[in-house]
Chain A
Amino acid sequence: MDALPPHMRPERSFQGLILTLQRYWADYGCVILQPYDMEVGAGTFHPATTLRALGPKRWNAAYVQPSRRPKDGRYGENPNRLQHYYQFQVILKPSPPDIQELYLKSLAAIGVDSHLHDIRFVEDDWESPTLGAWGLGWECWCDGMEVSQFTYFQQVAGVECAPVAGELTYGLERLAMYVQGVDRVYDLNFNGRDGAEKVSYGDVFLQAEQEYSRHNFEHSDIEMLFEQFKMAEQACRKYLDAGWKNGSSRKEHLMALPAYDQCIKASHVFNLLDARGVISVTERQSYIMRVRELAKACGEAWVHTEAGGAL
């Protein structure tokens, strides 16, 4: 680490922070994955977490996941709210006994010294109604700022976790703002260079935030989205039905992953519709339930696959 050039240091550049976390968890033995190639609301939706959290097999993985929260867009005007941001996700199954220490060491690796800063584990029970999932854990605070979420999954996609996986989610922009000492997300130094060579977070994402805010709140094609939701829901069911080997015996499933993609799709489309404000309070609940039903059916299929531990 000492050999790192300044522009690669986690406190100097956004990408340096990501690279440091990746190195740290790679060194621990995680597989370092790349982001899932679909729109998701959080790193948890990546099948490497949602589905891999289920079943008896050991699984340690880490990855960056771009996360989309259409409703959180602020046309680039809010210093810390974004409709697209990055999460760094770590999933360790079974949760190792020293997982808290591992987490604290990862903070140390990115320059957060626990003798200088006040690091706290504050109760935060996690529940995802759309994923049929819940767990217990904390928000991790550094000097009063929430920098990560820490969850012991108890249930995912309606299936009890056995064994339990530990999930760590780092809010990368916040963490970077903290270690870089920056108050506005767009001011983050992205590449760690100075002067003309410097690329800021704003250089990369400000225009996107403005454009997507317009899209999410004003122009997204509602009709198409309603249609897409229905199609994704139907396709998910179709793939789930078709995936059972030998039809009705329901012992082995062969298409859990493609079916789950459609569940992710439905979830994101719902978020887009929600951002347009076209879903009423009562309907909202029923949409959430429909996605949850898909997630549960996918979880049920997954535990009948090889990676899900069925074979």
Chain B
Amino acid sequence: MFQRTPACSPPRRKRGEGSKKMPDLLFELFSEEIPARMQAKAADDLRRMVTDKLVAEGLVYEGAKAFATPRRLALTVHGIPARQSDLKEERKGPRVGGPEAAIAGFLKAAGLASLDEAKIQRDPKKGDFYVALIEKPGRATIDVLADILPVIIRTFPWPKSMRWGERSARSGALSWVRPLHAITATFGLETEEPDVVKFVVDGIEAGQTTFGHRFMAPAPISVRRFEDYEAKLLDARVVLDPERRKDTILTDAKQLAFAQGFELVEDQVLLDEVAGLVEWPVVLMGSFDKEFLSIPGEVIRATIRNNQKCFVVSDPKTKKLANKFILTANIEASDGGQAITAGNERVIRARLSDAKFFYETDLKTKLEDRLPKFEQIVFHEKLGTQGERIKRIELSAAEFATHVGADVEKTKRAAHLAKADLLTDVVGEFPELQGLMGKYYALAQGEDASVAAASEEHYKPQGPNDRVPTDPVSIAVALADKIDTLVGFWAIDEKPTGSKDPYALRRAALGVIRIAIEREIELYPRGLLERRIKRIRANLSDEEISEIGDSFQRFFEDRLTVQLRDQGARHDLVEAVLHPGGREVGLLSTVRRVEALGKFLDTDDGKNLLAGTKRASNILGIEEKKDKRSFDGTPDPALYKVDEEKALAKAIDQVKAEAAAAVAKEDFAAAMSAMAKLRPAVDAFFDKVKVNDDDPKVRENRLKLLNEIRAATRAVADFSKIEG
């Protein structure tokens, strides 16, 4: 039942290894209700902090597991040695006859009364010196625990903690997530009555008394060790293990739904939260009026989930929501839960009538009629109003439309309406429904399906796992929206730095990159910026724009590198293809080059050509340094002395032409095959020809030929940046 520790964690003893049964620790911190979202991490922190300290104290344990409920954090650590082992340490002191102060310091640090208690270590080279033999007897583990547990309580890393009660007036008052009421800490062997680990934190004395369920079994419970602790809590209506509570909720919820011919709409995040709100989960089903099903399902779900923390259920055939919901209570009520269900139904009815009212009110106003209000809403202090931003997006989207093959008029319309739902009541209430509501309202007012879809789709992709839009209209608006955000923040120099990216610009750039790659749309970041930045800052000079363009281009290259690396591409290949011949490569082209290059380098031709090119580069590097000059320029055919030179020159000419033609068609596989043809000539050249000929003219010519190899390959990639 105990968790496996990851490989990097400190060593633990295996059960039964070299020792008899060893004692266990039971530790519980009983408090007022701990926020659900903090429980899992807190349990983990508690386990980590206690076991780290034990190991640091030389106490290697067999296993540990932590748990959390709304009112307690609990930890069991089993198989801890009863004592630390004794420690023998030799401490090196000053040399014999050293300064008095040094000797006094040594005696004090080592705890010796006089030099008679020290040993003298002979050292013929550096001179004899004193050594103190310090014997530190190991302490009883229970005493060590009594020292470390209070420190852990006082330094516990809650995201937010508080003071309370009379003691909060004193300095040094304990901070905890909510008032802490009791501490249980016992240590001992399975077969014996364990001892209480004796310590006091801010007036709370550690003991062996805890409490059951707040309403169903509030009486104090005396516990001895983990096994009886967990069992007694269960009797007192507390399920200690959050996983078990989740299981119960999920199983019962599915069962309840199934029994009535429905299907639970599963929701892991909600399940985690609900399991953190109860110690004794009791799952009940309630219903609401069918008339509310006229509201979009997402709105019903958001209402019931966000506000009431209840699950919704659907019809297994149509997948549409049913007029039922599933709640998780914390008690077995005396009436079997009728009052609880009725109460929740009433709240949900009120919430849904609010939502329905919002939805129906929203439908009364056309999306375009909401737009004037955006003129008053500031998007960002330095970037003007939302109204101005929407106009820019419209303009930009129309430009992208032709590029991505979208209908220009539809794209303009879509961009015009895409943000309008931000001003609707439903989105005001449930911001996570932005875009989706826009789609519903657009469809309701008879907009074209592509136009309506763009309201939702233009926000995508929101991250590495989100879907990328497919409809060209949505693609055009999505690009326009993201590029406007990026260009805007670049224009006012609010770029992401380090871990700070408050406007999620990296995510926006990743969105652009994923659209480019997955929808095969070529984009040149610098150009995108240079064409648009004056719409935001009209007074920028060409120089300034070019500088901002540099940084924009680099940002995209970095993002692309990260993205390709995350997909498993070698980062050196990305480097190698980014600036062939000093020209900028489009996002899509970069990806294709990386793919083609990767494949080529997996072949023998590729490996050998890489080796040959590297060799040429190395020789050139050395000779260029020696002569303090470069060897560009066309080699003179008249100076070729051997056949291998002529053959290489011919191969280079041919490959150059073929590769250039292939690159121009963005056919990188063909470019690579062309390059492969270089290999035999390069191999033969290095095999038969001595570059550093005695005749300086011949030498120069041969170096120029080597330079040609480098130049020919650079049309596709800079081989010198490739590792290996």
Interface residues of A (CB under 8 A from B): 56, 78-80, 94-97, 100, 113-123, 125, 135-138, 142-145, 152, 154, 161-164, 166, 178, 183, 280-282
Q: CA separation between A96 and B166, bound complex, in Å? A: 8
Asked if B343 contacts A145 (CB within 8 A), the reply is yes
Asked if B162 contacts A97 (CB within 8 A), the reply is no
Contact of B165 among A95, A117, A118 (CB under 8 A): A95
Asked if B163 contacts A183 (CB within 8 A), the reply is no
Q: CA separation between A79 and B353, bound complex, in Å? A: 9
Asked if B343 contacts A164 (CB within 8 A), the reply is no
Q: Which residue of A lies closest to B341 (CB)?
A: A143
Contact of A95 among B164, B216, B347, B377 (CB under 8 A): B164
Which one of B331-339, B529-537, B656-664, B684-692 is at the A interface?
A: B331-339
Asked if A144 contacts B162 (CB within 8 A), the reply is no
Asked if B33 contacts A183 (CB within 8 A), the reply is no
Query: Which of B36, B160, B165, B327 has the most CB atoms of chain A within a 10 A radius of its CB?
Result: B165
User: Does B464 interact with chain A (Cβ within 8 Å)?
Assistant: no
Q: Mark B159-190 against chain A: 1 for CB-CB distance below 8 A, else 0.
A: 01111111111000000011101000000000
Asked if A121 contacts B335 (CB within 8 A), the reply is no
User: Does B417 interact with chain A (Cβ within 8 Å)?
Assistant: no
By a CB distance below 8 angstroms, the chain A residues around B346 are: 143, 145, 183
Q: CA separation between A214 and B643, bound complex, in Å? A: 99
Residues from 208 to 252 in B contacting A, C-beta threshold 8 Å: 215-216
Min CB–CB distance B106 → chain A (angstroms): 47
Asked if B165 contacts A97 (CB within 8 A), the reply is yes
Asked if B162 contacts A136 (CB within 8 A), the reply is yes
Q: CA separation between A182 and B530, bound complex, in Å? A: 63
Asked if A122 contacts B169 (CB within 8 A), the reply is no
Q: CA separation between A79 and B277, bound complex, in Å? A: 29
By a CB distance below 8 angstroms, the chain A residues around B160 are: 125, 136
Q: List 5 A-B contacts (CB under 8 A).
A: A56-B169, A122-B36, A135-B162, A143-B344, A281-B378
Asked if A282 contacts B343 (CB within 8 A), the reply is no
Q: CA separation between A138 and B166, bound complex, in Å? A: 20
User: Does B37 interact with chain A (Cβ within 8 Å)?
Assistant: yes
Q: Which residue of B lies closest to A58 (CB)?
A: B166
Q: CA separation between A135 and B178, bound complex, in Å? A: 11
Asked if A121 contacts B347 (CB within 8 A), the reply is no
Q: Mark B289-315 against chain A: 1 for CB-CB distance below 8 A, else 0.
A: 000000000000000000011100000
Q: Which 7 A-B pairs have the closest CB atoms?
A: A143-B343, A123-B35, A163-B169, A121-B33, A144-B344, A164-B168, A118-B329
Asked if B32 contacts A143 (CB within 8 A), the reply is no
Q: CA separation between A123 and B160, bound complex, in Å? A: 12
Interface residues of B (CB under 8 A from A): 32-33, 35-37, 70, 160-169, 177-179, 181, 215-216, 277-278, 308-310, 327, 329-331, 333-335, 339-340, 342-344, 346-350, 353-354, 357, 376-378, 381
Q: CA separation between A282 and B378, bound complex, in Å? A: 8
Known contacts A94-B165, A100-B32: A183-B349 contact under CB 8 Å:
yes
Asked if A121 contacts B181 (CB within 8 A), the reply is no
Knowing that A94-B164, A116-B335, A163-B168 touch, tell me 15 more A-B residue pairs with CB under 8 angstroms. A95-B179, A97-B181, A115-B215, A115-B333, A115-B334, A117-B333, A121-B70, A122-B36, A136-B177, A142-B343, A145-B347, A163-B169, A164-B162, A280-B378, A282-B381
Asked if B349 contacts A118 (CB within 8 A), the reply is no
By a CB distance below 8 angstroms, the chain B residues around A118 are: 329-331, 333, 340, 343
By a CB distance below 8 angstroms, the chain B residues around A282 are: 378, 381
Asked if B333 contacts A116 (CB within 8 A), the reply is yes
Asked if B350 contacts A144 (CB within 8 A), the reply is no
Min CB–CB distance B170 → chain A (angstroms): 8
Min CB–CB distance B252 → chain A (angstroms): 15
Query: Which of A97, A116, A137 has the most CB atoms of chain B within a 10 A radius of its CB?
Result: A116
Asked if B169 contacts A162 (CB within 8 A), the reply is yes
Asked if A144 contacts B310 (CB within 8 A), the reply is yes
Asked if A116 contacts B339 (CB within 8 A), the reply is yes
Asked if A119 contacts B163 (CB within 8 A), the reply is no
Q: CA separation between A119 and B216, bound complex, in Å? A: 12
Min CB–CB distance B158 → chain A (angstroms): 10
Min CB–CB distance B545 → chain A (angstroms): 29
Q: CA separation between A101 and B330, bound complex, in Å? A: 17
Q: CA separation between A242 and B331, bound complex, in Å? A: 57
Min CB–CB distance B667 → chain A (angstroms): 52
By a CB distance below 8 angstroms, the chain B residues around A281 are: 377-378
Asked if A96 contacts B165 (CB within 8 A), the reply is yes
By a CB distance below 8 angstroms, the chain B residues around A119 are: 215, 330
By a CB distance below 8 angstroms, the chain B residues around A125 are: 160
Q: CA separation between A95 and B331, bound complex, in Å? A: 27
Min CB–CB distance A135 → chain B (angstroms): 7
Contact of B308 among A137, A144, A162 (CB under 8 A): A144
Contact of B215 among A80, A114, A136, A143 (CB under 8 A): A114
By a CB distance below 8 angstroms, the chain A residues around B310 are: 144
Contact of B340 among A94, A117, A137 (CB under 8 A): A117
Min CB–CB distance B69 → chain A (angstroms): 13
Known contacts A56-B169, A162-B169, A164-B168: A80-B163 contact under CB 8 Å:
no
Query: Which of B309, B350, B381 has the most CB atoms of chain A within a 10 A radius of its CB?
Result: B350
Asked if A97 contacts B179 (CB within 8 A), the reply is yes
Contact of A143 among B169, B278, B339, B354 (CB under 8 A): B339
Min CB–CB distance B278 → chain A (angstroms): 8
Q: CA separation between A97 and B350, bound complex, in Å? A: 36
Asked if A143 contacts B347 (CB within 8 A), the reply is yes
Asked if A152 contacts B340 (CB within 8 A), the reply is no
By a CB distance below 8 angstroms, the chain A residues around B163 are: 152, 154, 161, 163-164
By a CB distance below 8 angstroms, the chain B residues around A138 are: 33
Asked if A143 contacts B165 (CB within 8 A), the reply is no
By a CB distance below 8 angstroms, the chain B residues around A121 are: 32-33, 70
Known contacts A138-B33, A152-B179, A183-B349: A164-B339 contact under CB 8 Å:
no
Known contacts A143-B344, A143-B347, A183-B346: A117-B339 contact under CB 8 Å:
yes
Q: CA separation between A99 and B164, bound complex, in Å? A: 11
Known contacts A97-B181, A116-B339, A118-B330: A162-B168 contact under CB 8 Å:
yes
Min CB–CB distance B346 → chain A (angstroms): 7
Q: Which residue of B lies closest to A143 (CB)?
A: B343
Q: CA separation between A257 and B671, bound complex, in Å? A: 83
By a CB distance below 8 angstroms, the chain A residues around B70 are: 121
Q: CA separation between A116 and B181, bound complex, in Å? A: 26
Asked if B168 contacts A94 (CB within 8 A), the reply is yes
Q: Which residue of A lies closest to B163 (CB)?
A: A164
Q: CA separation between A225 and B334, bound complex, in Å? A: 54
By a CB distance below 8 angstroms, the chain A residues around B165 are: 94-97, 163-164
By a CB distance below 8 angstroms, the chain B residues around A120 are: 33, 277-278, 330
By a CB distance below 8 angstroms, the chain B residues around A100 are: 32
Q: CA separation between A116 and B341, bound complex, in Å? A: 11
Asked if A117 contacts B343 (CB within 8 A), the reply is yes
Q: CA separation between A255 and B525, bound complex, in Å? A: 63
Asked if A161 contacts B339 (CB within 8 A), the reply is no
Known contacts A144-B347, A282-B378: A152-B339 contact under CB 8 Å:
no
Q: CA separation between A303 and B361, bound complex, in Å? A: 49
By a CB distance below 8 angstroms, the chain B residues around A183 are: 346, 349-350
Min CB–CB distance A276 → chain B (angstroms): 14
By a CB distance below 8 angstroms, the chain B residues around A144 are: 308-310, 327, 343-344, 347-348
Asked if A152 contacts B277 (CB within 8 A), the reply is no
Asked if A115 contacts B168 (CB within 8 A), the reply is no
Q: CA separation between A115 and B278, bound complex, in Å? A: 15
Q: CA separation between A137 and B331, bound complex, in Å? A: 22
